Structure 1
Amino acid sequence: MRKKMKLLLTAVLVVMSLGVLAACNSESEANNSEKANEKETSGSLTISGSSAMQPLIAAAAEEFMSQHPEANIQVNAGGSGTGLSEVSEGAVDIGNSDVFAEEKEGIPADELVDHKVAVVGMAPVVHPDTGVTDITKEDLIKVFTGEIKNWSELGGADQKIILVNRPDSSGTRATFVEFGLDGAVPAEGVTEDSSNTVKKIVAETPGAIGYLAFSYLSDDTVAALSVNGVKANDKNVQSGEYPIWAYQHSYTKGEPKGLAKEFLDFLASDTIQEGLLTDQGYIAATKMEVKRDAEGNQSKK
């Protein structure tokens, strides 16, 4: 009997020891996993490019960093051409663009990986006192090529038209020229590097007209024009009825790794796609009823 009790006690001690070892291993694995996660969410990330994307990416970066204090993400604008050039050269980790890399001359598109973050509409915008709310595409082209020089020619105020453009490197300009002006080259006017500056100049200059992403139309300091009677809004972009829109691309040189991959995964998450993205004036690519290829051809999904 005593022998059986000793055997039973020994068995109990063995089981308890195994349990303690298992708990220690589990705790060790959890600690290792936590350390690995900390490693993935630390470090620095540099992003540049599209000013149309900057409000979204900057806001997403702030939210990401609030969740991961060890991560540092710097978001710069400079235009789509700058973003594509810098990411292809390895100067930044992510290059944002309103246009496909294949559309930019001198960019090694085959070396870049496209991450379509969102869709944004773009609208011609005017000073609120212009007196014009709708414009045909034909007249829009005439305005930007300098054929129409005064708003009174379109039933508006007797004001000289002042053109406010983005530089050639701008993806917003490329999108507006291709889908708003049917490829017509804008006449010379004021040229500004950022959408924020375009908005400020148009808002403060009677007779001014420029073009902005919907994400910059959160107040009434500038007025967006309807084109051919179609309002510049998300619904009309999604249906394909409103033509001036672009994908918002985040490009990486090769497949993303580490912090770059984690941030891009965050941009694709419901937190951004169903929340921040919409709040910032963008459209989730998944909600589009039409699609567009690198040649600019639009078709139903």
Structure 2
Amino acid sequence: MSIYLASLAQLSYRWLSYLFLLQKKEMEKKTILWISLCLMVGAAFAVPHYYKESFEKVNDSEVDLYAYEPFKESEKLARLDQQASFKIAGEVPIIDGATALYPLFSAFAEATYPEDLYNPYKGPVATTTTTTPSAYSRLIKGNADLIFAAEPSSGQKKAAEEAGVELELTPIGREAFVFFVNSRNSVTDLASKDIQGIYSGDIENWKELGGKNDEIRPFQRPEDSGSQTMFIKFMEDQKIKEPETEDLAGGMGGIIEEVASYRNYKNAIGYTFRFYSTQMVRNDKIKLIAVDGIEPNIENIRSGKYPLAAEFYAVTAGTKNPNVQPLIEWILSEEGQKLVEDTGFVAVQ
């Protein structure tokens, strides 16, 4: 009997061991399957992200503003053939502005300011560029005397009103607001109504506009930037489709902090200003398109043929600096307007 029980116990042990091994193998299979599934899910998210990141971008980091720094040996900065008839003595105005206009107001500074170090990036200095949104903010807060930028957005006008200051805009030059596509895109000309259709979401494929069968990726710029303000004005009363974004600022009333405006997808469309894209960035992977059959070149801006030409401004907000108004008057003089032209813009005088 004891031998029988011992044999039965041994048999049971072997059976349980076998079951344990089967269960272990089954668990290992499930574990492998689970890990594989996790890797596949991770890859599904990661691969498109890194594929997306592999595309070239056109952004401000591609522009070396030191090449336009005043009182440096730069071949890019426009200069007069003789000494300017106006020179600032005493308190120099603190100026700021749009990145795209830095080469111009840097030229103004070199012509009229006392020679000194004027770093384009580091403040506080008399001349710097902190981009349009920041420049308007500094002006409204009284941290800048004069800025050079496109017209203010509705948000910037509201901020000035709430601060109890009045923005005074003086037109000093003209520039083209432009749309661009990938250089491989066969489309070279778009009607204004078609561009509005793209950004409203009514037109979604390039084949609708004579291009290839590719879904259109319409990118936008950050809110309150000069080009975004121009874009909203261009859209008039048309609805605007929610933009592609890479990062959304958190908190109440969060705004788009960073928009993939210039990612070089073959099927993308974006917008900027002519001088910035053709002279400062010079990226041959994008091309500017004609609007309503008119190319965005200097001749068409000057003649008024190009439909999206716009003025840019010297903007003040009640500064007490006595040199600001004389500086603006000089900018509108023959000498100042020559620098506007020589930099690559169109004069208003």
**Bin for the TM-score computed over the shorter chain:** 0.5 to 0.7
Amino-acid identity (%): 23
Secondary structure in 1 matching 2:242: coil
Q: Whole-Å Cα distance in 2 between the matches of residues 236 and 248 of structure 1?
A: 17
Q: 5+ unaligned residues in a row in structure 2: which ranges?
A: 1-85, 119-125, 247-255
Corresponding residue number in structure 1 for 2:265: 205
Q: CA deviation at 1:101?
A: 7.6
Q: Are 2:166 and 1:111 equivalent residues in the alignment?
A: yes
Runs ≥4 in structure 1, deviation > 6 angstroms?
Answer: 191-195
Residue of 150, 175, 183 corresponding to 2:205: 150
Q: Whole-Å Cα distance in 1 between the matches of residues 93 and 323 of structure 2?
A: 7
What whole-Å deviation, never above 9, does each CA across 1:8-46 have from its counterpart, x for those lacking one? xxxxxxxxxxxxxxxxxxxxxxxxxxxxx98x4465543
Q: CA deviation at 1:50?
A: 3.0
Contact 2:145–2:321, Cα closer than 8 Å, also in 1: no
Corresponding residue number in structure 2 for 1:3: none
Q: Whole-Å Cα distance in 2 between the matches of residues 57 and 135 of structure 1?
A: 33
Q: CA deviation at 1:62?
A: 4.3
Q: Are 2:343 and 1:280 equivalent residues in the alignment?
A: yes
Contact 1:98–1:248, Cα closer than 8 Å, also in 2: yes
The aligned runs of 1:1-301 (5 Å cut-off) are: 40-41=88-89, 45-65=93-113, 68-70=114-116, 72=118, 73-79=126-132, 81-99=133-151, 104-108=157-161, 111-179=166-234, 181-184=235-238, 185-190=240-245, 201-202=262-263, 204-216=264-276, 217-218=278-279, 219=282, 221=284, 222-254=286-318, 257-261=321-325, 263-274=327-338, 276-286=339-349
Q: Whole-Å Cα distance in 2 between the matches of residues 128 and 50 of structure 1?
A: 26
Cα gap change, 1:241 to 1:234, in 2 (>3 Å): same
Q: Whole-Å Cα distance in 2 between the matches of residues 113 and 173 of structure 1?
A: 21
Q: CA deviation at 1:244?
A: 1.4
Q: Whole-Å Cα distance in 2 between the matches of residues 249 and 122 of structure 1?
A: 15
In terms of Rg, which structure is larger? 2
TM-score by length of 1: 0.66
Q: Whole-Å Cα distance in 1 between the matches of residues 212 and 342 of structure 2?
A: 34
Q: CA RMSD in A?
A: 3.3
Contact 1:130–1:156, Cα closer than 8 Å, also in 2: yes
Secondary structure in 2 matching 1:53: helix
Q: CA deviation at 1:265?
A: 4.2
Structure with a larger share of its residues in strand: 1
Q: CA deviation at 1:122?
A: 0.8
Q: Whole-Å Cα distance in 2 between the matches of residues 225 and 119 of structure 1?
A: 19
- The total of aligned residue pairs comes to 240
Q: 5+ unaligned residues in a row in structure 1: which ranges?
A: 1-36, 287-301
